[in-house]
Amino acid sequence: MADLDPARISSNLERVRERIAGAGRDPADVRVCAAIKYVPVDDLGALAEAGLEIVGENRAQDLAEKQERLGRDAFAEWHFIGALQSRKVRDVAPRVSLIHSVASDSALAQLAKHPAPEVLVQVNVAGEEGKVGIAPGELGDFIARCPVPVSGLMTMPPFTERPEDSRPHFVALAELAAEHGLRELSMGTTQDFEVAAEEGATIVRLGTVLYE
């Protein structure tokens, strides 16, 4: 990734907010989580300077390194957005305000020992074979077993080049959240965040659209 320019990121962030508004949502109601998996630690200061307040890391080791190098107060919130392995819960939970990707009983067992402030349950709404996520029909029981507060749901629809193809999956996640009385919906990435916003996303996880 080329050196990041705070002014360009700030301009991109403003355009993202305009597109969210164009989707019929108040941008204040849809938080932007900047995905930093491919952002070197030395470039993270540019994100803070650009006005990004929430960053999401995919890897526990990189989360620790970036947070320790830059300082936890560099951003208002650090999130974990990668697949949550049970053996990494102890490393992740104390460092973040939100984990997006709880999806196994082994992770729940570790959260009981190393609690996080809040978590989202990852749901495999498309029923993709081999994909991480709780089946919709098992969601209620899974939430009941979770030892920490569940504030919402997250999903990653099947990859598609047509944003509209993601809509049924976002609709399904929103319906599940309403059914279980959950407020947060982490759904939508660079290619489909406008559709996600239309269907009720409260957090969008963005990378390329912010940095290029």
The 8 Å CB, 24+ separation contacts for 68-75 are 69/41, 70/41, 70/44, 70/45, 74/44, 74/45, 74/48, 75/47, 75/48
Distance of CA 54 to the CA centre of its chain: 10
CB atoms within 10 A of CB 10: 17
Q: Is 183 a residue whose pLDDT tops 70?
A: yes
Average pLDDT, stretch 46-70? Answer: 97
- Closest C-alpha among 14, 20, 82, 8 to residue 47: 8
CB 182 within 8 A of CB 200: no
CATH superfamily, region 6-211: Alanine racemase (3.20.20.10)
pTM of the model: 0.96
Contact 20, 27 (CB under 8 A): yes
Q: Which amino acid is at 153?
A: L
Number of C-alpha atoms within 13 angstroms, CB side, residue 82? 16
Per-residue pLDDT tens over the stretch 63-121:
999 999 999 999 999 999 999 999 999 999 999 999 999 999 999 999 999 999 999 99
Rounded mean pLDDT, 150-173: 96
pLDDT of residue 75: 98
- Cα separation, 53 vs 28, in Å, equals 12
Structure confidence at residue 130 (pLDDT): 84
Is residue 133 within 8 Å of 165, Cβ to Cβ?
no
Closest CA to 120 of 19, 20, 210, 33: 33
Count of other CB atoms within 10 angstroms of residue 87: 11
